[in-house]
Amino acid sequence: MYKALKIELKLTNEQKIQVNKTIGVERFIYNEYIKYNQEQYKLGNKFISANDFSKYINNIYLPNNLDKKWIKEVSSKSVKQAIIYGEQAFKRFFKGLSSFPVFKKKGKNELGAYFVKNNKKDFEFYRHKIKIPTLKFVRVKEYGYIPKNANIKSGTITKIADRYFLSLIMEVEDTIKVINTSSKGLGVDLGIKDTAICSDGRVFKNINKTIKIKKLKKKLKREQRKMSRSIEYSKSKKIKLRELKNFNKKKLKVQRIFYRLNCIRDDYNNKIVDEITRAKLKYITIEDLKVSNMIKNKHLSKAI
């Protein structure tokens, strides 16, 4: 049985540089793959697979572009995975499941730094540290979450609000399934005024209407206004944003507030799910709603 786990890391400055470099190379390769397929389509050629593009990069692109040697400074498996992500995006588009793949932008919708297990010693973990390929041992902020007998297959490091998180895919022993003899069921109605209303009378309030969330939203608006003023100033003076000393600080503040809001909401939703499923009911019935469409409505999105 495969299981996923996400933990926060405490990286050294050297490790941060290597992770950021890997993320940058993956973004570049992903964009090149999309660009190359667009060019081939205009020429009337067939779709280029991930395997064929990988051969093109190693045999044609890099020998003819010596200034792009920095691609080789990161793990080849990370580069290969970025191409696979691009191929998956195209396949989803061909099946009508998503729109045409878009280019990745620095600081937005970034790919994570992908690391795969190459030998037995990779992803060894102890009480407070884990060994990651090309990064060696990395300290973990909270220990005790990784099962002792877990066989870790791969890991992806993502950067959120200047914090680094490791998502692991591991193989664990199958748990013994207990047969549920209960005949009771539960109906759950998802609402706007309240998050969920259960058929047994339980009501879960909408966390977006609490004082804590409202205060954070006000703080977020203030910080966003400060950031907007910096952008307007840079446009009026024709100065690049990276030349403004405090812009990155303001941007980081906004990111941290967004991250805190997401954590509070996710934690609340997880507690609701835990409380409902802990009763070990025979079945749970939930109305079929397309939340993605409801979010598009400006009158409903703030309440969801």
Top mean pLDDT of 89-103, 106-120, 276-290 is at 89-103
In tens, the pLDDT along 5-45 reads 899 999 999 999 999 999 999 999 999 999 999 999 999 99
Q: Is residue 134 located within the same domain as residue 45?
A: yes
Residue 302 has pLDDT above 70, yes or no: no
Percent of the chain with pLDDT over 70: 96
167 in the same domain as 202: no
Rounded mean pLDDT of the chain?
88
Q: How many domains does the chain have?
A: 2
Same domain, 30 and 97: yes
Same structural domain, 85 and 211: no
121 and 264 belong to one structural domain: no
Write the pLDDT tens digit of every residue in 137-185.
999 988 778 877 788 888 899 999 989 999 998 888 777 676 766 778 8
Do 48 and 130 sit in the same domain of this protein?
A: yes
Q: Is residue 303 part of a domain?
A: no
What whole-number percentage of the chain has pLDDT above 90? 52
Q: How confident is the model at residue 119 (pLDDT cuts 50, 70, 90)?
A: confident
Q: Residue 287: what pLDDT?
A: 78
The secondary structure of the chain, three-state, reads CEEEEEEEEECCHHHHHHHHHHHHHHHHHHHHHHHHHHHHHHCCCCCCCHHHHHHHHHHHHHHHCHHHHHHHHCCHHHHHHHHHHHHHHHHHHHCCCCCCCCCCECCECCCCEEEECCCCCCCCECCCEEEECCCEEEEECCCCCCCCCCEEEEEEEEEECCEEEEEEEEECCCCCCCCCCCCCEEEEEECCCEEEEECCCCEEECHHHCHHHHHHHHHHHHHHHHHHHHHHHHHHHCCCHHHCCCHHHHHHHHHHHHHHHHHHHHHHHHHHHHHHHCCCCCEEEECCCCHHHHHHCCCCHHHC
**pLDDT tens for each residue of 225-283:** 999 999 999 999 888 887 787 898 999 999 999 999 999 999 999 999 999 888 888 88
**Quick check: is 143 in a domain?**
yes
In the predicted structure, residue 304 carries a pLDDT above the cut 70: no
Output the pLDDT for position 176: 67
Residues 131 and 16 in one domain: yes
> Domain range spanning residue 228?
185-296
pLDDT band, residue 303 (cuts 50/70/90): low
Please report the pLDDT score of residue 49 as a whole number: 94
- For residue 115, name the pLDDT band (cuts at 50, 70, 90): confident
Residue 141 belongs to a domain: yes
Task: Find the range with the poorest average confidence among 123-132, 160-169, 196-205.
Answer: 123-132
Q: Is the pLDDT of residue 288 over 70?
A: yes
Domain C-terminal end among 144, 175, 206: 175
